[in-house]
Amino acid sequence: MVILRLLNYLKPHYKALSVASLILLIATFADVIGPILVKIFLDRHLVPRSFDRQALVVLGGGYLGLHILSVGLHYYQLVSFNQTALKVIQQLRVDVFSHVQGLGLVVFDKTSTGALVSRITNDTEAIKELFVGVLAALVQNFVFLIGIFIAMFSLDVRLATFCLVLLPAILCLIYGYRKISTKVYRTMRKELSRLNAKLNESIQGMNIVQAMRQEERFREEFATINNAYYRAAITNIRLESLFVRPAVDLIYTFALILVLNFFGFQSLNGPIQIGVLYAFINYLDRFFEPINMMMQRLSQFQQSLVAAERVFELLDDDRLTRAVNSAGSPSILDGQIEFKDVSFSYDGSIDGAADVLKKISFTAYPGQTVALVGHTGSGKSTVANLLMRFYPVTRGEILIDGDALSEFSDEELRSKIGIVAQDPFLFVGDIAKNIALSRADVNEKTIREAAEFVQADEFIRKLPQGFQEPMGERGATLSSGQRQLICFARTMVGKPKILVLDEATASVDTETEEAIQSALGKMRKGRTTIAIAHRLSTIQDADLILVLHSGRVVERGTHTELLVKEGLYHKMFMMQQGTMT
């Protein structure tokens, strides 16, 4: 099944492969015909000592010409096979990367970043060897074996039949090696994936590792995984050392002894032809040469198949965030949001034991601001994740303008809902590119207006290159507050119908927060806003405040109404004001 799926990637290149295979066939013929010319020289000229100069020149020139032709043809087919292999892997990597971009966040929650990187890079690189080395070697050696058998049968039918009898022993050897090595290669790929995951984790959290003096612990954990990979690699080397070359050489030695005995017994009954003896022993050696080459490539073949299994397992993951983009998908016009008895658990269970949301119901009308407050773990951010369709809604229903969330196309949903996350994320590039994100309708003027709107232009203009200031990975050269302001400008540029603010001012100082709150007041006009807040002072003007506790809405109302009730909201507000101990 895996091989068939890999062959599907070769379909656009069948013509190029056919030409390369034909060239390989001609080159193989040139390789096979060489010993025949030597046999003719031995039997007709060397043994009888009848040196015909013209015949010797023809034979010698033909032998040399065949070698030169073979070199040129092998060069062409090698380049052709490699070009095809690189194109196939290029397309496969794009397909895997595109698929990963559409996976639901549940996949990334349960799979380490290093493991995914390993599948996209290391595993696809291992598959490349299947096309570069294994495929070319398989075609070449298979054609070479056919040519050798034809030459053998033309020399001596009995000995050629004897070589056919050797094939079952060789096939059993190949089957045994594949059976055992598959488990070893799976272990190797798994440990390599764990190695990349640990490396990625330690680099991303290097500041914590160093601050908490965890270098020794991470070194030991990395060494443990590295040692497991080493043991698997050693096991693989031992298998190759036993099954690949030595076992085939042993069979070849027995075959050579039997062939020499055959000619020895035949010489008792009369003279034998030296040319036939030379040609047959030469072909016998050439018979085992492609066998040895295929056995050596078998290691790469097994690694490629195991790597392909892992890649296709990722491609077959159907936990997608994307909906079917159809021409009839609805549009977001007003931005009314309605949650109807929505329950959700991150592990996918439906028994309610692990639910982080439990029968959540509320309506956010166009232009309203609905704030979600509550203690850590109450489910506030989960509401935003479901609205953004990062996770599928399986119990209850979410409606936008009366249409189910699942009915909207990705393009419509992502362009009409703007989100500012608690953790600001910036890409490598300059500030202008991070705000625009390559959106076609965003020009330099729009970028500057958005930055000015969220009060980000003040610090941007102070930078050496302004909006063209380059940033490293995740914008590490900026403060967390500055990164958050850029993310806010990025959202405003899209002019969304719905705003989702997940602790949007958590990384901003008090002075900047006041400026942003002023900007948000203007931005919220005519737009539905879902604001998740920890600091209650930032959402006092919300039209509706939902107080969540253990995944349930325990209170709802305006700021004034909730204070009058003297419930959980009142307690939280008093604690933040410092009037309650």
What's phi and psi for 160, nearest 5 deg?
-65, -40
Helices marked H in 111-214: 113-118, 124-129, 136-155, 157-204, 206-211
Give the CATH superfamily of 337-577: P-loop containing nucleotide triphosphate hydrolases (3.40.50.300)
Q: How far is CA 219 from CA 3, 111, 192, 199, 226, in A?
A: 39, 22, 16, 10, 10
Tell me the longest C-alpha to C-alpha distance in the chain.
122
Name residue, tokens 């016009």.
Answer: 333
Q: What is the pLDDT of residue 581?
A: 47
Provide the pLDDT for residue 108.
81
Each residue of 137-166: b (16+ CB within 10 Å) or e? bbbbbebbbebbbebbeebbeebbebbeeb
CATH number listed for the domain at residues 2-315: 1.20.1560.10
What residue segments make up the domains of the chain, in order of their start?
A: 2-315, 337-577
Retrieve residue 525's tokens: 């006009």
Domains 2-315 and 337-577 share a fold: no
Do residues 200 and 121 touch, judged by C-beta distance below 8 A?
no
Pairing of strands 498-502, 417-420: parallel
Nearest to 554 by CA among 580, 535, 572, 539: 572
Q: What confidence score (pLDDT) does residue 358 get?
A: 92
CA 176 to chain centre: 31
The answer to whether residues 528 and 368 touch, using CB atoms and an 8 Å cutoff, is yes
d(CA 80, CA 132): 10
Ramachandran quadrant class, 16 (left: phi over 0; alpha: psi -120 to 50; beta: rest): alpha
Residue 442 gets the label, from left (phi > 0), alpha (psi -120 to 50) or beta, of: beta
Q: In sequence order, what are the residues at sequence separation of 6 or more whose Cβ sits closer than 8 angstroms to the Cβ of residue 202?
A: 209, 218, 222
The residue behind tokens 């002075």 is 511
Q: What pLDDT score was predicted for residue 42?
A: 59
Q: Count other C-beta atoms under 10 Å from residue 225's C-beta.
A: 18
Structural tokens at position 349: 């269970």
Using one digit for the tens of pLDDT, what is the confidence trace for 186-208?
888 888 888 888 888 888 778 77
Instruction: Count the residues in the chain.
Output: 581
Strands 544-549, 552-557: pairing is antiparallel
- Round to whole Å and give the CA distance between 102 and 93: 14
The ranges of the chain with pLDDT < 70 are 25, 28-60, 63, 66, 136, 159, 263-280, 283, 321-328, 505-513, 515-516, 519, 522, 578-581
Amino acid at 578: G
Q: What pLDDT is attached to residue 177?
A: 80
Beta-bridged to residue 528, according to DSSP, are 498
CA 380, distance to chain mean position in Å, is: 32
Is there a contact between 533 and 508 (Cβ–Cβ < 8 Å)?
no
